[in-house]
Structure 1
Amino acid sequence: AELCQELGVSLDGVGLYKTELKLTAWQSTSMEPAQEPQELGPQTEMLADTILEVGERLFQVSRRVLSVHSRYFEAMFFGGAKESSEQHIVIKGIDAVSFQALLEFTRTAQVLIGQENVTSLLETADFFQFDRVKLLCEKFLERELHVSNCLGLMTYSQQFAFTELYVSAMNVALTHWRHVIYQEEFKALPKEMLMQLLKSDDLFISREDVVFDSIMIWIMEDPATREEEFLDLVGEVRVTFLSLSFLDILVKRSKRAGETDTFSRLIRKLDSCPPPSWQNPKLCPYAGRSYDTLYVLGGKHDKEQQELFLFQPKRGTWQACSPLQRRNLTQYAVAAVGLYLYVLGGSTDEGIVAAVERMALMESEWESMSPMAQPVERGDAVSVGTRIYVVCGLDENGHVYDGVQRLNTETDSWDVISFSPLPR
């Protein structure tokens, strides 16, 4: 079951925004022992020779044991500091429970890490420079990454120079942007970090329109102070990849001079003073956001439809799409042009068909297009630019058809352009 716990994490002390770090576990989050590799086992037991007062507790410790694990204590005890000659040392501002956990680590090479103690343990380990405990905390936080906490962990990881955690958290944000923008953390995101994410070629979105929408969501959270950032942020939108329908909406909103709401006011500002990347195509990235998708179409012979599934390698997830409503359709050809998937020809129980179906990938809706010039099954299809070529196949008599058919997807028209010297 999903388990969420809010951990108060003050980040403003290091020049970062203050937030609550929400950790979400998808498995049991009971305290688990994290252990060093075998070769980094517990140190040999040594006699205590110093008393450390942490919080309101007294700890008898061995200077040599602590120095093996901590550069902080190595410098304190053997670096010429005044504490090197003291037998009772007071350390203020440190959580005694977390310090006790570090002492246990020096004896057992194990530390219990859970949602309720990871932040205090990490901050204590960072203060005393217990690098191995810090690494174990980082690995724990990586396992806790979720869309609800990835932005906070990006910021939190910078405080401790956790490169791997930062990269992992950013990857979650980039690959789940559609969900991240509706999380509480997104509302408190600093402008600089938002700009960094919007610049990325790896931002995984269904269409560039989502980038514009996410900017508006962020600004509308605090329009009084964020309106002035609008043009800078919109400059990161790859305007050449905005959909025509979305641009049409923006144009219409910009012409409503009587409306005084924030959205309309910002659109009019964009219309009167667009950012340089909207005015000069050379300043706008030539490529859209880069990611691969895989579509798999098929199904059982006795079904009323052909199932369609989408696999997203970036996220490692499958999702069901709108099925093709054709009963017992087999031996069809498939091709993709732009944001459209085409299914061409094939055969049913009634025989070979010339039907062509097209699905708009963004809307996930099928529509019928102009039929093929020659109905075939088992033809090979390939797309080149806005054209689809269907080579050979079997005709309604079961004979090999030697023609090369071409579909102009812009005009939805077919013609036969050539004949194969070796039909198959």
Structure 2
Amino acid sequence: MTTRYAARVAAGALAALLVLAGCSSKAKDSDDGDGDKAAGGVKTGEGISGKTITLGALTDMTGVYATLGKSVTQAQQLYVKQLNAAGGVCGYKVALSVRDHGYDPQKAVSGYTELEPKVLGFAQFIGSPFVAAVKQRIDGQDKALVLPQAWSAALLGSPYIRVIGSTYDIETINAVDFLIKEKGVKKGDRIGHVYFEGDYGESALVGSRHIAKEAGLTVVEQKIKPTDNDMTAQVTALKQAGVKAIVISAGPRQAASLVGVAAASGFAVPVIGNNSAFAPQLLATQAGPALMKNYYVASPSLPIGADTPEAKKLVADYRAAYPNDALDNGIVAGWTAASAFGEALKKACANKDLTREGVDRALLSIDSYDVGFGVAQNFTDPKAPSSRESVILQPDKSVTGGMKVVREAGASEVAEAYTPGA
């Protein structure tokens, strides 16, 4: 049995168990189906008790994406605090119920099972494989809005799971387009792609394969596990293959190892990562100089240090709330998702329907939403990501958040013409 097949069998069995578990939990909540009428005639349902709307956050505070999870969660807690200070939504205060799954599949699924009956929806869910594992349950019966910190194309098509920004395949297409237009990669060249096994890495790989076919490139693939931290073997293989550039769809640790090992061995090719493959804390490591010289990141938005009024306010507010913590793009991702959920809640309030279905419909009516980080999000088509644009960033320890813009937000011609899943 191949590793990929085994993973799919396990995911299928897990999904089946979740459906059964979901049926059991929903049976207990059968009285909630029609919702209640709150003051002012607003319809309510799951996740609203007394004068509180509870949202869930399934995060990673202790695993491979611990840095990201902390920043996303604290940004969302800051948003909720400010929202409540401004009066909340429809007279309700909003609460964020957080669970740390440590990027462990069992903990992620059990966390979802625990929180789902208690929350209106999820403002955060880190991990494409984990969201995919509960997708059938979300679509079939729970119908709770989920804004994941995950960008796998496999999550598209659901009116309840809404990917914010370009999916990994589109983001990777834009990343390789940057290598072609800005870094000298040309027809006939080989490029490397180091990627995590599973939904994240394999979704990104679809993108690199697609643009490679369009541009006449060859992709040299290197699949790794999230537990693989030393990229020496991968660098050696790619150097021997003569690649002219490398794409990495993994975590910050893997990116730092890849770039650091390549630099130490005199293999000075440009490397570009997906949005979750960097943390500014890496700039203080031995890999810091190499990252600032040869590493780039494709991002769904401008960085935390962007020169916009909204970015500057968020930096000031976050620093005031968390003075001992670093600034990174996880703050932008968390703030954007929480703001989008908050906007959906406000529209649902105006529609006098704060049930799960009402909030889902409200988000699907938002066709241009920008919180001040350069990219407008369109949530009206569940089959498409909310954006096809990417910003190309480069590590720079001299700027706020450790990332500077080297190419403004845009979608390549190949990304514009591409249909996810086709």
TM-score band by shorter chain is under 0.3
Greater fraction of residues in helix? 2
Greater fraction of residues in strand? 1
TM value normalised by structure 2: 0.23
TM value normalised by structure 1: 0.23
Looking at both structures, which has the greater relative contact order when contacts are Cα pairs under 8 Å and sequence separation is at least 6?
A: 2
